[in-house]
Structure 1
């Protein structure tokens, strides 16, 4: 249950460090641990960036001066099966070996569900042969979670000349060993207002730009193989979304679509002290061992619909990208 709660709050899957004992990989040495952890976390970092990029608009019709909308926005980002695995070739590792003698094998990423893949580290410590065996970690799919969730509050306020400013935020929250918070700012400009009088066309066209920043951390527990202190992960993410948006301008239900570009970066710091207690490297201690940087750049296309009933609005859309995404928004506003 702790694993599922932490995953839902941090949504980037790093709770797997605790549940699946990823820190046991330090028994294979710092170089092997860094290589494995980078491959293990890469897809969930990329998927989280795409998740954060979504939800900036539900119409191309910018709000007039003084118009506003408050929304609760939720994202569910899906991923292809090839994001759930990576090929681990022991020739690329100094000490890590498969227990069944395989040289290369598909293993789980933080999004995957492969279980029971045994590895070992073998060598001498103080002249005595020693061997340490453990299982590689599995991922979110093994808990029945096949998407990356995110959610936040978002506010839009109309200014002048078809310009609308937007802000999103998730107040700093803590749940068990997780801390997370995000903020973002965006602008939407209705281009059609410059060329036609109001309501002259049944459609509106806008340009949207949005920036989102997330900070999160997860503190994970020790294991029998590797102990230490203050073992945690700090995550920083920032992502830009640039979109051209078109939408109908009907009274009750409207349809909208957008196409554009997503660009983002995540920095993951694996921090704390890691002391190897068993195996040939049991005298080794690693402090703040490594960091990873992941970048995403790609096209994204969105199709959606919005239902408006007085002050209440409900919208849903689907974005096609390297990681597809479903966005649902519950909105309250006044035009």
Structure 2
């Protein structure tokens, strides 16, 4: 469980990486702060959707009635070579107050997944007739600057065989609560093997199935006590769900098997920036309560290949998916039949 907790600390680090600069961003005004934060955090929200959608199966061969398997599954949605997820172009013409320090009108800047550093911006405004003030600050970088190039997830999953060719699945992460982090996950899925209905099922060397899986992740990260931002009850609250629809094929051998699939992922992430935030410098010194929310929808085609080693009750599997985020999934499994 400590490993699972560590993975979700990394996850929330990605969500909160830029929040150390919320005070500076709000110094540019609420609309500018919301626009920047939406572009900055959208890729990591998308990465979470792809990460929690992985690991639904390790074979197309559905379990018989009463067969079961319990698994510990970890996913890593990688973005190391996904430059479009690590950066975006900030055009000051789309902002009311934010300007680049060197006079540029547009620049490529970091998302919460990126590693671009040293981008200086400023806001300037009149605080009294004939009196102006200026506030300079640096835009936040992202996880890649800390050599973290994946969005993780981990959970326990159970599968049980029902009627002919049908397998029910459930996944969950027991609620984790600390002074700063609260996170939980659950999901339900179903797999149906079409080859079970064929007369030659017992002698066919392969199995073909369809899989549908739903996963829901909720979490809160409280950073009130970090002394980063003036205010109270400051936290990030996130709700993410994903759907997976996939066709799967696998071999049916006694010890080592191979599997693969093609399908579609769709999901939605909602992130609320909550609490009281007081801007204490610059031309727009205001107090904001629950300043804004960010919504990200993501969808795309995915394809994966994997292998499974079966040694009695003990099984190991790993697979690699290609999509908007390439996902490495691995499982330690214990099962019967």
User: Normalised by the shorter chain, which TM-score bucket?
Assistant: over 0.9
Query: Could you tell me how far apart the structure 2 residues matched to 1:174 and 1:112 are?
Result: 28
**Structure 1: gaps (5+ residues):** none
Residue 135 of structure 1 is aligned with which of 128, 133, 138?
A: 138
The separation in 1 between residues aligned to 2:157 and 2:164, in whole angstroms, is 22
Q: Which SS does the other structure have where 1:314 is aligned?
A: strand
Cα shift at 1:225: 8.5
Of 91, 98, 101, the residue aligned with 2:93 is 91
Alpha-carbon separation, structure 2, partners of 1:223 and 1:135 = 19
The counterpart of 2:243, out of the listed 234, 240, 247, is 240
Q: Which residue of 1 aligns with 2:37?
A: 37
Corresponding residue for residue 233 of structure 2: 230
With structure 1 as the length reference, what TM-score do the two structures score? 0.94
Corresponding residue for 2:70?
Answer: 70
| Matched-pair contact (CA < 8 Å) for 1:97–1:120 | yes
Regions of 4+ moved over 3 Å: 5-8, 221-226
Task: Output aligned runs, 1:8-19, within 5 Å.
Answer: 8-9=8-9, 11=11, 13-18=14-19
Q: What residue is the counterpart of 2:302 in the other structure?
A: 300
- Find the counterpart in structure 1 of residue 170 from structure 2: 167
Name the count of aligned residue pairs: 329
Unaligned runs of at least 5 residues, structure 2: none
Q: Deviations over 1:214-252 (max 9, x none)?
A: 101112248889521111111111111011111000000
| Shift, 1:10, TM fit | 5.8
CA distance in structure 2 between the partners assigned to 1:106 and 1:226 by the alignment: 26
Q: 2:64 & 2:302 partners in 1: Cα distance?
A: 28
Rate the CA distance shift 1:168–1:7 in 2: closer, same or farther, 3 A: closer
Partner of 2:336: 334
Q: Distance in 2 between matches of 1:264 and 1:257?
A: 22
Q: Residues 225 and 201 (structure 1 numbering): CA distance in 2 closer, same or farther, change over 3 Å?
A: closer
* 1:118 Cα offset (Å): 1.2
Which residue matches 2:128?
A: 126
* 1:7, distance to aligned residue in structure 2 (A): 7.0
- Computed over aligned residues only, the root mean square deviation of the Cα atoms, in angstroms, reads 1.7
Structure 1 pair 190/10, CA: closer, same or farther in 2 (3 Å)? same
Indicate how the Cα distance of structure 1 residues 93 and 114 shifts in structure 2: closer, same or farther if over 3 A, else same.
Answer: same
